[in-house]
Amino acid sequence: MKKLINDPDNVVREELEGVALAHSDLVKVVLEPFYVVRADAPVEGKVGIVSGGGSGHEPMHGGFVGMGMLDAACPGEVFTSPTPDQMFEATKAVNGGKGVLHIVKNYTGDVMNFEMAAELADGEGIEVEAVVIDDDVAVEDSLYTAGRRGVGATVLAEKICGAAAERGDDLAKVAEICRKVNDNAASMGMALTSCTVPSAGEPTFELGENEMEIGIGIHGEPGRKRMELKPADEITEMLLDPILEDLELSEGDEVLAFVNSMGGTPDIELYIIYRRLAQLLEEKGISITRNLIGAYITSLEMQGASITLLKLDDELTELWDAPVHTIAMRKGI
Amino acid sequence: MKKLINDPDNVVREELEGVALAHSDLVKVVLEPFYVVRADAPVEGKVGIVSGGGSGHEPMHGGFVGMGMLDAACPGEVFTSPTPDQMFEATKAVNGGKGVLHIVKNYTGDVMNFEMAAELADGEGIEVEAVVIDDDVAVEDSLYTAGRRGVGATVLAEKICGAAAERGDDLAKVAEICRKVNDNAASMGMALTSCTVPSAGEPTFELGENEMEIGIGIHGEPGRKRMELKPADEITEMLLDPILEDLELSEGDEVLAFVNSMGGTPDIELYIIYRRLAQLLEEKGISITRNLIGAYITSLEMQGASITLLKLDDELTELWDAPVHTIAMRKGI
């Protein structure tokens, strides 16, 4: 295993210590139990937003804590759900009196633990709503999931809900917007290579020299199909088709197009995919009015990419454009 | 070769078409010959700044074109110098009447071609100054270089000179600031894996299962030493020591610390390196007052990292903090 780490058991702790040293202007890092919280939390009179999940998907979620996005993020060990205790402590830390939204990717452990944290918070009189993100159209159930997995739409939901909370929306409204993002977004990913979880020490799966996997999950969970490597233009079409089918987009629709690196994919390749995606959507009369291109929800060093489309309306567009100031996303500040 | 591309010969062209489709609000992409230029170029009364070099180091340089940074970038084919013609056309396109600065990484082809472009520009009455960046302390001469290579300091010089030009400094002053950045910065990198140039189709070099290379160049040029993989804390020290020796920093100095991914290294690992870097500098009484952590000057999908330190004074700090609005760097806008 080739990684720039010390002890595989201390990877997340040492990463968080690094984040604390680098970004104390933006966030406070708590190590017992692990969570990352806005430096100015709790923000009085604002709905708090907490997300979290296994580590290894950076910059998600810790890189999205700050003004206009998350109030706190709970990182588990790599590809391992955080504990209810982490989520409960983070929820208390961001409670500004208007309740707290939990944005939860649909993995069994995350969903269960966020439910327990919400019960604990309820016991202390903190109102919590949870929205489960399940935008991955690749497979219906999966290794760690009942129902569809939560992937790229999580990034978009965190940005958009963060803006809604910032403008003063109440908890019911922020949760409604979160559900709207989830309902109007769909994603699909693929991998050229596996990643290696530090504590495992070897690749999660093996792909042949000339093989790829379409519909892969962000933990290397099996996708739809292993097949021979194809040109980028064909791969783009293979990822886009199931998304279009799911969203039932029609001519004249406006979308946010998000091309995401799984971690180890160079920018050059992301733009080659974006190019074909833009051409294909234009042929169908669908306008990309906003885009996001880069490594935002990753699987450690995995090579591969995912596409997420979010159908936009005026409200979602305005919230997407609102200022944000986090480690990994910054606009208007 | 596993890459998300179509034809290896069209990689840069298709990437640039993707950039044009995605970012027409920020940049204009010219395809004959290749260059990326600010959408509002030329900016009248402002010094223009042009950089460029082989592709494969994205987001450098095209990702840094925009308000507060570069006016234009000339991408060559992957790891291949752009032509004098590209540089000349870009220079003309950004000439706002106050002259043009060329920021040139020290590689023989880049230096030679930028010199020819400056002569061509001179023939048309455009004043050009060139500053050659050579911050890599790993080796004195290298595969493609007489003298030290230009690496991470290029990113910092482009940001800082961009701010100086934006506030109205004249060409001599912007060039002086560029030389000051270069004189006060030093870098060193390392690799865990090679990258694969698309047109070559196979890895540039081979590293054993448990081997790393210290002092590697951004094209996979040989570094100082191949050795057994060490823990991240030791690697950080091996990268930092030659930098400190070169910069002759002393207690009380302030620095910008830049931890850069070679392309395929996850954020987690960059923060583990940053953590140790911050500890080591603190022990020496050197303050990190600004930092930059992420993939800014890459070698395609290479796994590895580099450290750059820039000794700061009030002027450099103020210029670093100034607003910037590019694809890959954004602040205050």
Res A333: pLDDT: 74
Token readout for A90 is: 């983070």
Query: Which of the four pLDDT bands, split at 50, 70 and 90, describes residue A332?
Result: confident
Question: Is the pLDDT reported for residue A146 higher than 90?
Answer: no
Question: Tokens 């000051």 identify what position?
Answer: B180
Question: Tokens 């963060």 identify what position?
Answer: A162
CB B49 within 8 A of CB B100: yes
Res B233: pLDDT: 98
Name the minimum distance, in Å, from the CA of A286 to any CA of chain B: 14
Query: Which of the four pLDDT bands, split at 50, 70 and 90, describes residue A11?
Result: very high
CB B148 within 8 A of CB B136: yes
* B14/A190 Cα distance (integer angstroms): 20
Q: Is A61 part of the annotated catalytic residue set?
A: no
- CA-to-CA separations, A97 to A30, A92, A310, B99, B147, in angstroms, rounded: 21, 10, 31, 57, 61
Which of B57, B61, B102, B325 is the catalytic position?
B57
Q: Return the DSSP state at B66.
A: S
B7 contacts in A (CB within 8 Å)?
231
Res A140: pLDDT: 87
Q: What is the mean pLDDT of residues A105-129?
A: 98
* B28/B22 Cα distance (integer angstroms): 11
Closest CA to B169 of B69, B115, B73, B98: B98
Q: Is A23 part of the annotated catalytic residue set?
A: no
| Average pLDDT over chain A, rounded to an integer | 97
**Interval B235-261: pLDDT, tens:** 999 999 999 999 999 999 999 999 999
- Minimum-distance CB partner of B266 among A18, A273, A298: A298
Q: What is the mean pLDDT of residues A188-217?
A: 96
Q: Return the DSSP state at B9.
A: G
Nearest residue on chain B to A296, alpha-carbon basis: B267
B19 contacts in A (CB within 8 Å)?
271
Q: What is the mean pLDDT of residues A279-302?
A: 98
- Asked if B274 is an interface residue toward chain A (Cβ–Cβ < 8 A), one would say yes
Question: Is the pLDDT reported for residue A143 higher than 90?
Answer: no
Res B141: pLDDT: 81
A231/B6 CB distance under 8 A: yes
Res A311: pLDDT: 98
* A67/A162 Cα distance (integer angstroms): 8
Res B146: pLDDT: 84
Question: Is the pLDDT reported for residue A144 higher than 90?
Answer: no
A154 burial (CB, 10 Å; 0-12 / 13-18 / 19+) is buried
Question: Tokens 């890189």 identify what position?
Answer: A63
B269 contacts in A (CB within 8 Å)?
3-5
Res A103: pLDDT: 98
Q: Return the DSSP state at A24.
A: T
B240 burial (CB, 10 Å; 0-12 / 13-18 / 19+) is buried
Ranges under pLDDT 70 in chain B: none
CB A56 within 8 A of CB A300: yes
Q: What residues does A74 pair with on adjacent strands?
A: A52
Q: What is the mean pLDDT of residues A228-257?
A: 97
Delineate the domains of chain B, giving CATH numbers in brackets.
Answer: 8-183 (3.40.50.10440), 185-313 (3.30.1180.20)
Question: Is the pLDDT reported for residue A145 higher than 90?
Answer: no
- CA-to-CA separations, A199 to A35, A56, A145, A196, in angstroms, rounded: 21, 12, 22, 9
Nearest residue on chain B to A278, alpha-carbon basis: B21
Token readout for A78 is: 């790599």
* B176/A136 Cα distance (integer angstroms): 52
**All residues at 6 or more sequence positions from B155 whose CB lies less than 8 Å from its CB, including other chains:** B60, B64, B258, B260, B292, B296, B297, B308
* A118/A101 Cα distance (integer angstroms): 10
Query: Please, how many CA atoms are within 13 Å of residue B292, restricted to the half-sphere of its CB?
Result: 25
